[in-house]
Structure 1
Amino acid sequence: MQKVVQLDDVSFNRFHFKIAGLTFGAHLTDGYVLGVIGFALAQIKPQMGLTPFWEGMLGSSALIGLFIGSLALGWVADYLGRQKIFCFSFLVISVASALQFFAHTPEQLFLLRVVIGIGLGGDFSVGHTMLAEFSPRKHRGVILGSFSVLWTIGYVAASFAGHFMTALGPEGWRWLLASSALPAVIILLLRIGTPESPRWLMRKGRSVQALAIVHRYFGPHVTLQAEMPSARQHSLLTLFTPRYRKRTAFNSLFFVCLVIPWFAIYTFLPSILQSMGLDKNFATDLLLSALLIVGALLGIVLTVFCSRRGFLIGSFLFLAACLVALSLLPTSMALWQIVCFAAFTLIMSAVSNLVGVFPAESFPTEVRSMGVGFATSMSRLGSAIGTLLLPLAIMHYGTATTMGLLAVILIIGALVSLAWAPETKGLTLVDASDTATNPRKKPVHQATSSF
């Protein structure tokens, strides 16, 4: 007779690989969607006569949609189930991506990219949630963090596609933006038939269905750690009750402080490099792309060997130091500027792995999608504001001062993490969400010490 095993402790199998692949495919699409707009804007700007305002609005449009989708669809997923949003989100992305080809005004393109962002935001909420709820704790950090590698590959693919498609002619931007529909449709078709999260079913009192899914995909000897049934319907205000408000604040603020510099800098990378006296060409793109991918892979290694908390705090401080150096170095010291920018790119890509880990491990099943969605929505709102304001900041204050302001945001992230970041490494989802309530408490199951 086989020994009974908890879902948290099962071996990694083909189903884990499939659900991870479907989630990672979504992040590849997300990276691609957010990456192509920078290249498309170079052609759209003269054709549509874009003002700096509309250039910023189009650059931040998908991020605005991500804010709305993460907030709204995360709540819906906790209410109706993960699987429905898991498929619906990519139906929305597929249709809106294809329609970008026919946009003729900034307003039309803005609305379509907001809709794409809504779909991506919903997927961020349920993708991380489903992956966390199916994954064994031994591999959860690596699996959740690995999405950053695929996001980076999507972002890098956007760079190569941008160079190729914008060279096709003045209408190349249409093919470039609409090309995101291809991976979206593939992912949508592959997601059909994905099972519901057994943890969500257990919370809804549907334990027979939950165990049937567990037995089908993991074997009859596998059981599920107790999830107390709850008929209560939670609202977003639940995230601000005494039980959840600290973890809500931490996950939202650290996420915001990481992604504002990321999206602000990389959306307008050509303008920033030009103001630093550096050229952005294919060779530069190739170097930055390699650094992003190497950084994402480095992040997986650091997630395995470092404490979650120590990795996050150390990265915030290092990234802030890089931007301070960039703000102080004169343009005559181009080599040192390149070194600082390369180091910033490498570590930013590495620590971005944690944005898929902390939110999913911090909230219990009953509000996990909503919590992940809220943190994601706040990060995208911050990113949208940063992306919108960056061209204006560079124009009025210069690159050096703007880099200094972004460094201040990273220091705030370090302080927030010092105060509130929990250590969730090596815990079950139930234990991890309990530990998130008291980040200073050292868990019994934890093998590594907090920072």
Structure 2
Amino acid sequence: MGFDPRGKLNSFLVSSAGFLLDGYDLSVISFAILFLQKEMSLTTFQEGLVNSASLIGMIFGSLLFGVLSDKLGRKRLMGIDLIIFTVFALTSALSLNFIEIFVSRIMLGVGIGGDYPVSSSMMAEFSPSKSRGKYLVGAVSMYWIGTLLSALVNLSFLPLGEYFWRFSFAFGSILAIPVILARLRLAESPRWLISKGKLTGEGIPTVEEENKGVKGITDLFNGKIFPVVLLASSIWFLFDVASYGIGLYYPAIFKQFAFPSNYEVIYATMVIAIGALIGYVFAELAVDSLGRRATLLSGLGLMALLLGIGGVIKITGVYLLPYFAIFVAMEQWAGAVTLFYPTEIFPTPIRSSAQGFATAFSRFGAVLGVVFFPTMTKVIGLSSSLIVFSITSAIAFAISLYFVRETKKMELEKIAIGLRKGQVKS
């Protein structure tokens, strides 16, 4: 596209705030579950369900909001999804039993899930092609800023006693309010306007160029497009099995195998978040220079290698902290690309729907990892569980090696597959 939309920095900050809230929410529950388990007499399986409840809600939210975003526009939905988050973050804080917190967190997940396709599509469509990767990776990195913030909030409220988690949950609800207000002033995506014939001019793609012969969601299941949807979704699915399977249990792992003190667990979680952010700094440098393909393959390959090594040498104790800090740094190389790649390879009329489908599919992998990780570690141990996750990462690497094509510094309308072209341009 021949224009650089004014206010793209504002769009970046306001759009990426949804990822910050996601990181905050999932990290808050991963520490709170250590106390909820006793307070609500949760079984191991119920613990997994509570930990994964927002991920389950994301499946429904991403599908629904992805489709609505393509029909109604990005801007209209960017406040609604976070209103849902705000309401149910508060009801989570007031929950008294398993059913109440499980349902609250499922509904909270609907809001978070809805934000993924809407915000990531908005980011891709506002970003200039030469540095689009930098903007998209930066947006995803906000997840770990949310994680770091959750640790600081938990640290502040922990002296209040065993019910501190209620204040941490409520703080998340308050955190979303200024983001909602800022989104009311956000401009509509120019590419969505172009796709609907509402924005024309010199240097701007035509409706036909933007839409690539695709008219709506039914084209998502076309014989040429749907296999690409499945491959992109499968890579993200396999990545999430390991990423969330381990990621939502860092506090529990540190508590059981390394640090007995709750404060030490929080500090360890902060180190993990800092490790992830360092990984994102290098990913930002790589994604527009080395490219998407090299960044993704490096991340998935090192994930498989590190998890395999950790499983074979049976790493435990305080060594888990530097081990997971290094792992999470490299994990982000893969995590960022798996998340935003669908927004680059699908045309505007189905971009958000495709991203919603891919998000939903990936959350199935996340739920599998989160629900079964506690049981798996009890049955086969932590080391063998790491090897299982190493295998899933290796499979994701193999699929990516076959499927992923380079998209760096290319205009979206030149990348996107349509009904007239069955593959991504290299």
Q: TM-score, normalised by structure 1?
A: 0.87
- Aligned residue in 2 for 1:438: 423
| C-alpha separation in 2, matches of 1:32 and 1:40 | 12
Unaligned 5+ segments in structure 2 are none
Q: Are 1:364 and 2:347 an aligned pair?
A: yes
- Residue number among 383, 393, 408 corresponding to 1:425 in the alignment: 408
- Aligned residue in 1 for 2:305: 321
- Aligned residue in 1 for 2:284: 300
Letter in 2 for 1:255: W
Number of residue pairs matched by the alignment: 419
Q: Percent identity?
A: 25
| C-alpha separation in 2, matches of 1:123 and 1:286 | 25
Change in Cα spacing, 1:367 to 1:341, as seen in structure 2 (3 Å) is same
Change in Cα spacing, 1:302 to 1:361, as seen in structure 2 (3 Å) is same
* 8 Å Cα contact 2:303/2:390 also seen in 1: yes
The alpha carbon displacement at 1:223 in A equals 4.2
Q: Are 1:270 and 2:254 an aligned pair?
A: no
* 8 Å Cα contact 1:9/1:138 also seen in 2: no
* 8 Å Cα contact 2:299/2:332 also seen in 1: no
Q: Are 1:151 and 2:143 an aligned pair?
A: yes
- Residue number among 199, 213, 220 corresponding to 1:239 in the alignment: 220
* 8 Å Cα contact 1:70/1:374 also seen in 2: yes
| Largest Rg, 1 or 2 | 1
Matches within 5 A, 1:161-172: 161-172=153-164
- Aligned residue in 2 for 1:257: 238
Change in Cα spacing, 1:410 to 1:278, as seen in structure 2 (3 Å) is farther
- Residue number among 18, 21, 27 corresponding to 2:19 in the alignment: 27
Q: Are 1:412 and 2:395 an aligned pair?
A: yes
| C-alpha separation in 2, matches of 1:126 and 1:109 | 26
Change in Cα spacing, 1:222 to 1:294, as seen in structure 2 (3 Å) is farther
Change in Cα spacing, 1:422 to 1:437, as seen in structure 2 (3 Å) is farther
User: 1:160-186 CA distances to partner (integer Å, 9 max, x unpaired)?
Assistant: 222332331122111111111122111
- Aligned residue in 2 for 1:60: 52
Matches within 5 A, 1:155-234: 155-205=147-197, 207=198, 210-211=199-200, 223-228=203-208, 234=216
| C-alpha separation in 2, matches of 1:59 and 1:102 | 17
- Aligned residue in 1 for 2:3: 10
Matches within 5 A, 1:362-401: 362-401=345-384
Which secondary structure does the structure 1 equivalent of 2:272 belong to?
helix
Letter in 2 for 1:132: A
User: 1:305-327 CA distances to partner (integer Å, 9 max, x unpaired)?
Assistant: 21211211122111101001110
* 8 Å Cα contact 1:97/1:116 also seen in 2: yes
* 8 Å Cα contact 1:131/1:144 also seen in 2: yes
Change in Cα spacing, 1:332 to 1:172, as seen in structure 2 (3 Å) is closer
- Aligned residue in 2 for 1:96: 88
Q: Pairwise CA RMSD of aligned residues?
A: 2.3
* 8 Å Cα contact 1:144/1:356 also seen in 2: no
Change in Cα spacing, 1:42 to 1:164, as seen in structure 2 (3 Å) is farther
| C-alpha separation in 2, matches of 1:323 and 1:331 | 10
| C-alpha separation in 1, matches of 2:190 and 2:404 | 28
Q: Are 1:74 and 2:66 an aligned pair?
A: yes
| C-alpha separation in 1, matches of 2:322 and 2:28 | 26
Q: TM-score, normalised by structure 2?
A: 0.92
Mean Cα displacement is larger for which, 426-435 or 369-378?
426-435
* 8 Å Cα contact 2:74/2:188 also seen in 1: yes
Letter in 2 for 1:266: G
Letter in 2 for 1:183: L
User: 1:308-355 CA distances to partner (integer Å, 9 max, x unpaired)?
Assistant: 1121112211110100111011457964x5554332111012332213
- Aligned residue in 1 for 2:296: 312
Q: Are 1:111 and 2:95 an aligned pair?
A: no
Mean Cα displacement is larger for which, 190-199 or 58-67?
190-199
User: 1:84-120 CA distances to partner (integer Å, 9 max, x unpaired)?
Assistant: 2112111111111122222112111111111111111
| C-alpha separation in 1, matches of 2:45 and 2:123 | 38
Which secondary structure does the structure 1 equivalent of 2:406 belong to?
coil
- Aligned residue in 2 for 1:3: none
